[in-house]
Amino acid sequence: MPQSIARVLIHTVFSTKGREPAFLDPAFRSEVHAYLGGCAKTLDCLPIQIGGVADHVHLLTTLSRTLAIAEFVKEVKRVSTNWIQKRGGLFGQFHWQAGYGCFSVSESKLSAVSQYISRQEEHHRKITFQEEYRELLRRHGQTWDEAYVWD
């Protein structure tokens, strides 16, 4: 077969360092989400839904057939951190957490995951980021050590 074709959907989640909410206030959050989508697109990863709240983000994207997950997340976080820090002032201290969660998404669940991400504000009126992340890990059959999940 002379042509390589792939359609891999991923749901990536990561928080601000220390889950600090000061940086992603509502006025700036939509800009950050749009920028993250642009970062994904630059990496040939189609942004499908980007969302989140004050202390974390969710990215539903395709994964380029030429890119490893770790490279994708590293580059999105690196480029977006630089962009945020260039705003100066308090933003000069901005960082994403070191780790991330990345989960496969079935084509049949694409709409449900997209809606889940678009409803983050409503969702987090009832549940914290830590509770949400633990549930994502459980749903995807992951085990974890609480000592190493949060930074």
Number of domains within the chain: 1
- Could you read off the pLDDT of 61-120 as tens digits, one per residue? 999 999 999 999 999 999 999 999 999 999 999 999 999 999 999 999 999 999 999 999
Q: Is residue 96 domain-resident?
A: yes
Residue 2 confidence class, pLDDT cut points 50, 70, 90: confident
Alpha carbon distances (Å) from 86 to 90, 92, 136, 139, 150:
10, 6, 32, 37, 26
Q: Is residue 2 domain-resident?
A: no
Q: Is residue 32 domain-resident?
A: yes
Give the pLDDT score at 1: 65
Percent of the chain having pLDDT more than 70?
99
Which positions ≥6 away from 78 have C-beta within 8 Å? none
Domain residues for the domain of 36 are 9-149
Q: Is residue 72 domain-resident?
A: yes
Euclidean distance between CA atoms 54 and 16, whole angstroms? 8
Q: Is residue 1 domain-resident?
A: no
Q: Is residue 4 domain-resident?
A: no
Written as one letter, the residue type at 32 is V
pTM here is 0.94
Q: Is residue 130 domain-resident?
A: yes
Sign of the Cα torsion 26, 31, 36, 37 reads positive
Nearest by Cα to 113 from 48, 65, 45? 48
The CATH number of residue 87's host domain is 3.30.70.1290
Question: Quick one: DSSP state of residue 96?
Answer: B
Q: Is residue 3 domain-resident?
A: no
- Burial annotation 105-143 (CB, 10 A radius, 16+ → b, else e): beeeeeeebbebbeebeeebeeeebeebbbeebeeeeee
Does position 59 have pLDDT exceeding 80, yes or no?
yes
Sign of the Cα torsion 137, 100, 33, 39 reads negative
